A and B are shown apart, each in its own frame.
Chain A
Amino acid sequence: MKTNLTLLLSAPFLLAAAGTAQAQDYPTKNIQIIVPYSAGGGGDTVARIVADRLGEELGQQINVVNREGAGGEIGIDEIARSDADGYTLGVFGYPDNFVLEHTRDTSFTFDSLDYLAAFDDMPMGIFASPNSQHNTLEELVSYGQEHPGEMIIGESGALGLLHALAFAERSDMQITPIRYSGGGELMNALLGNHIDLASTSSMSHDPIVDSNGKPIGFAAEERMEMFPDVPTFKEQGLDLVMGVSRVLVAPAGLPDDVREALVAALDKISTNEEMITNFENSAIPYRYLDDSAVNEMLEKSNSVLMPVIESNLDQINGN
């Protein structure tokens, strides 16, 4: 009985393996989306929501593969090195790749990837632990200035680190950043009072606040519709705007027909109400950018970020 069952169960794999590479009508086999973070965080959630809908649209199963490590470098590196055949895609939070490229000796560059769409626009924020004595930016900064190096900020990626450093620089504090492998692990450390602050995106707002963590502010131009009670840094006198945008990418050099098929499918699902509801339920502010809009946004953002990276380079490398 057992042998029959195993055979039955393995049938789909064998079929999937049989339909190999010849890309007459892309896609002819399962697609994988590499996420360079551990499961359960924001980038992972976006990937899973999109994979579900896009897979249905393309008529193939899309598997989300978590390849966390080294602040996203391992996974992004792997996306960039994959075959540009449309069967390996990636979802990650821009500007992780840009920051990594300019702070480490990465083998990928900005142009190693082909940016097909963006799905959200989420500001970074600073949250204090439940036991923290600091409820506002002002209290926190005055304490931090008097105690250089003592404020411990957890982060789970290149952008989280950059945001923490820019936050410290602009408020004249010295901080100690600590790396975690994913958003879930970072949240655990903050809620358990093992670190003082977390530098993470607005998506972590609900679980942190539900367990009595405190939002200090968001690095956004204006207050978010989702969280009208949380002030921006700007209105508290700190000029810091930094956010993450989850992009769907492919290794550069996709065949034209594959690229067209992907872009068309993405455009088509972008208005799917069920998918948009899933984004909202996960506290991810949905904002779709198609392939030309996303490239325009990225170019503009790169030129804003570059000076911030350069002025913090020694600190990032010291990490």
Chain B
Amino acid sequence: MDIFSILLNLFTPSVFLVVFAGVLVGIVVGAIPGLNGAIGISLLLPLTFTMEPQIGLLLLGGIYMGGMYGGSITAILINVPGDVVAAPVAMEGYPLTQQGRAKEALYYSIFSSMFGGFIGVLVLILFTPPLARFALQFGPAEMFFVSLSGLIIVGALSGSILKAALAVLLGLFISTVGVDMITGSERFTFDSLGLRSGISVVPVVLGLFCFAEMFLNIGKKPSEQVQYRDQKISRMTVIKDILSQRFLVWKSGLIGTVVGLLPGVGTTLAVFMSYGDAKRASRRDIPFEQGNPDGIIAAESANNATVGSSMVPLLALGVPGSPTSAIIAGALVIHGIVLGPSLFVNRPDVAFTFLYGMLLTVVAMTIIGAIGIKYFSYILKIKMEYIVPTVLVFALFGAYSLRNSLFDVFIAIILGIAGAIFKKMHVPLAPIIIGVVLGPLIETNLARAMRIAGARNMPLWEYLLATPLSKGLVALVVIMLLVVIRMRHKEKIAAKEVKNA
């Protein structure tokens, strides 16, 4: 299929309409705590059944792209990330808002999302078959080391290392609750059906980030609230600044792309990885977690880059890499489109229109975001006494809607109270989430590795280090550990100097 006929397919009013509509819906559901792109997609899925397959797909792709961005709006403005992937953005963006630089933070967020989105989709267009083969190389050993490297990132975040370690252990503990995937044995279930099903990430995120923040806002005096300020800053200044940070945006986009290929962990891991790396590499004199734009650039470009790459295994092999792409796979099936290598042979019209159309979703996201920012920041004009109940209602709804379970709502509220206490005690919350996300991956993959090593009559370590890829990943884990230790050491010296001065 030549590029001309693809363009002919793309440049139609209906394509533009669905792409913009999809992105808009995505941004809105992404911004609402507890809702995310996956929920938006399942809501609008029935609409696509009557559309042409490529049009329906682009609607869903637009929601996916917009949803990845939307979460950062509330993260920056009211310190409530709409989704777990926006958590690092809140850590840098909200301090900027407190300094009266909300608009600037939002510009950093949208333009980094734009660069990341383009990188991910371009990689999807250009390298899908080889990358899909690369993703297949990740077996139990490789997944184990990748997940382990995610835990090390915790050390790179600011604050007490002891508190961070305790937080990550709490996260790992939460992830063990329920029926064990490999053996089927029950752990910490106390004969409760809710606990048997395990504690999933969504109520934990809502509790720690959303409920906790809102609880802490209750009783604050209006004078303590962040005031809306019309900041004069041009879009070009921000774009130029993003591009002048050496390779930051490209590097983060590529981290997002590569890590996003991995099933299950991709997005969350990618975002925290590039955030941690930006902290190491930042040349600005602003400490992290006090409003360093590099943190926003890294996190936002990484998460939008995963949109394209998480669809690589789906399109090339028929294996969905994230919950959202699994729902998109279901939509394709209903359209009678068989995924896998044969897709590009049998239905090139659908495949290529979709691929190139994803570039349009990035354009639409940028336009809506760049124009909308002025209006988004009006949220700051709303009094906290109105924001708190509104956000709480949406968060309750979000916690319930995941699996229509009141149990999840209780989990979210309990963790909300715990989160508020943790915040007062300066226990970082992000490591808890990292533990909850990575715990099951580390555990099941190690269990599988042990079993395979046993069958192959080799010691576990030999199996774990059998492939060049796993050796490389071990090296990565070690390097990350060393970098984190060095970072910590430097911070200590810097802190001492400040004290002495």
Contact = CB atoms under 8 A, between A and B. Distances in A.
Interface in B167-186: 178-184
B369 interface: no
A301 interface: no
Contact of A48 (B24, B334, B394, B404): B334
A89 to B, nearest CB: 13
A48 B197 contact: no
A1 interface: yes
Given A78-B193, A78-B197, A152-B455, A184 B334 contact: no
Interface stretch (B155-163, B252-260, B312-320): B312-320
B317 A211 contact: yes
Contacts of A52: 46, 49, 334
Interface string A37-59: 01110001100110010010000
B319 A207 contact: yes
A253 interface: no
B333 interface: yes
B181 A70 contact: yes
B181 A188 contact: no
B197 A13 contact: no
B455 A5 contact: no
Interface of B is mostly: helix
B341 interface: yes
A184 B320 CA distance: 7
Given A74-B196, A150-B455, A281 B336 contact: yes
B389 interface: no
B376 A2 contact: yes
Nearest to A63: B42
Contacts, number: 160
B196 A67 contact: no
B283 interface: no
B58 interface: no
A39 B323 contact: yes
B28 interface: yes
Contacts of A70: 179-181, 184
Contacts of A189: 139
Contacts of A185: 263, 319
A5 B198 CA distance: 34
A136 B73 CA distance: 57
A188 B197 contact: no
Nearest to A148: B455
A241 interface: no
Contact of B28 (A5, A45, A67, A184): A5
Nearest to A282: B333
A192 B337 contact: no
Interface of A: 1-3, 5-6, 9-10, 12-13, 32, 38-40, 44-45, 48-49, 52, 55, 61, 63-65, 67, 69-71, 73-74, 77-78, 81, 104, 149-152, 176, 178-179, 181, 184-185, 187-189, 191-192, 194-195, 206-207, 210-211, 277-278, 281-283, 319
Contact of B379 (A2, A64, A178): A2
A52 B397 CA distance: 24
A278 B334 contact: yes
B138 A192 contact: yes
Interface in B299-342: 313, 317-320, 323, 326-327, 329-330, 333-334, 336-342
Contact of B330 (A32, A45, A191): A45
Interface of B: 24-25, 28-29, 31-32, 42-43, 46, 49, 73, 135-140, 178-184, 193, 196-198, 263, 313, 317-320, 323, 326-327, 329-330, 333-334, 336-342, 372, 375-376, 378-379, 382, 394, 397, 401, 403-404, 444, 448, 451-452, 454-457
A72 to B, nearest CB: 10
A207 B49 CA distance: 24
Contacts of A55: 46
Nearest to A192: B136
A194 B452 contact: yes
Contacts of B323: 39
Given A2-B28, A179-B182, A277-B336, A69 B456 contact: no
A207 B339 contact: yes
B337 A195 contact: no
A206 B456 CA distance: 29
Given A32-B404, A152-B455, A210 B342 contact: yes
Contact of B338 (A71, A188, A192, A206): A206
Given A65-B404, A207-B340, A39 B179 contact: no
Interface of A is mostly: helix
A1 B372 CA distance: 9
A12 B40 CA distance: 13
A108 to B, nearest CB: 11
A12 B25 CA distance: 14
Given A77-B196, A104-B184, 14 more contacts: A2-B31, A9-B25, A39-B327, A44-B326, A52-B334, A69-B197, A73-B179, A74-B179, A74-B196, A78-B193, A150-B455, A207-B318, A210-B340, A319-B183
Given A2-B379, A150-B456, A176-B455, A38 B326 contact: yes
B76 to A, nearest CB: 13
Q: Select the residue from B334, B379, B403 with max chain A CB neighbours within 10 A.
A: B334
A192 B341 contact: no
17 contacts: A38-B326, A45-B333, A55-B46, A67-B403, A74-B198, A149-B455, A176-B452, A176-B455, A185-B263, A187-B317, A192-B136, A211-B340, A278-B333, A278-B334, A281-B338, A283-B338, A319-B183
A13 to B, nearest CB: 7
A65 B183 CA distance: 23
B339 A188 contact: no
B29 A9 contact: yes
B181 A179 contact: yes
Contacts of B340: 206-207, 210-211
B330 A192 contact: no
Contacts of A3: 382
Contact of A184 (B46, B137, B326, B448): B326
A211 B31 CA distance: 39
B380 to A, nearest CB: 12
A207 B330 contact: no
Contacts of B338: 206, 281-283
Contacts of B337: 281
Contacts of A78: 193, 197
A9 B403 CA distance: 20
Q: What 7 pairs across the A-B complex have the smallest Cβ distances?
A: A39-B326, A194-B139, A192-B136, A176-B455, A281-B336, A70-B179, A207-B318
A81 B192 CA distance: 12
B46 A6 contact: no
A150 B339 CA distance: 33
A67 B407 CA distance: 14
A55 B49 CA distance: 13
Contacts of A282: 333, 338
A211 to B, nearest CB: 6
